Amino acid sequence: MGRLRNWVRRRSWAELLLISFGNLVLAGAVLLTLPISATKGRVGFVDALFTSTSAVCVTGLAVNDIGTVFNSFGQAVILVLIQLGGFGIVSFGTVMVFVLGRRASLMTRDAVSESFPDLFGKSLRRIVRNAFLVMFAIEIAGAVLLFFGFRHSHPAKERAWQALFHSISAFCNAGFSLKTDNLIGSADNVFVNLVIMTLIILGGIGFIVLLEMGEVLRGRRKWRGLTLHSKLALTMSAILIVVGAALIIGLENHNLFAGVSLKGKILRGLFQSVTARTCGYNTVEIGRMTEASLVVLIGLMFIGGAPGSCAGGVKVTSAGVLLGLALHAFRKEKYPSLFGRTLPREAIERALILMISSFLLINFVSLILLGTEGGLVSPQTDPGRFMKIIFEATSAFGTVGLSTGITASLTVTGKLLITSLMYIGRVGPLTLIYLLQNRGEKVSIVYPEEEIMVG
Contact 322, 355 (CB under 8 A): yes
What is the number of domains present in the chain?
1
Asked if residue 202 is part of any domain, the answer here is yes
CA distance 193 to 187: 7
Nearest residue to 372 via CA among 392, 353, 355, 356: 392
pLDDT of residue 442: 57
Asked if residue 340 is part of any domain, the answer here is yes
Residue 432, Cβ neighbours under 10 Å: how many? Answer: 17
Asked if residue 454 is part of any domain, the answer here is no
pLDDT of residue 115: 43
CA distance 118 to 327: 33
Q: How many residues does the chain have?
A: 455
Q: What is the pLDDT along the chain (455 residues), one digit of tens a residue?
A: 566 566 656 666 667 778 888 889 999 999 999 999 998 888 999 999 999 999 999 998 999 889 889 999 999 999 999 998 888 777 666 665 555 554 444 444 444 444 444 554 555 567 677 778 888 999 999 999 999 998 776 788 889 999 999 999 999 999 899 988 889 988 999 999 999 999 999 999 988 888 888 888 887 778 777 888 889 999 999 999 999 999 999 999 999 999 899 999 999 999 999 999 888 899 999 999 999 999 999 999 999 998 878 888 999 999 999 999 988 888 877 888 888 888 888 888 888 988 999 999 999 999 999 999 887 777 777 778 899 999 999 999 999 999 998 998 999 999 999 999 999 988 877 777 666 665 555 556 777 877 787 76
CA distance 90 to 97: 11
CA distance 186 to 102: 47
Residue 338 β-bridge partners: 341
Asked if residue 75 is part of any domain, the answer here is yes
- Cα-based distances in Å from 374 to 378, 382, 386: 10, 9, 10
% of the chain exceeding 70 in pLDDT: 85
Contact 426, 312 (CB under 8 A): yes
For 95-157, the DSSP string reads HHHHHHHHHS-HHHHHHHHHH-TTTTTS-HHHHHHHHHHHHHHHHHHHHHHHHHHTTTTS-HH
Asked if residue 455 is part of any domain, the answer here is no
pLDDT of residue 275: 94
Nearest residue to 386 via CA among 401, 372, 367: 367
Asked if residue 312 is part of any domain, the answer here is yes
Amino acid at 269: G
pLDDT of residue 105: 44
Asked if residue 1 is part of any domain, the answer here is no
Nearest residue to 231 via CA among 324, 308, 339: 339
DSSP code, position 289: S
Identify the domain containing residue 284 by its residue range: 10-437
CA distance 129 to 441: 34
CA distance 281 to 297: 13
Asked if residue 450 is part of any domain, the answer here is no
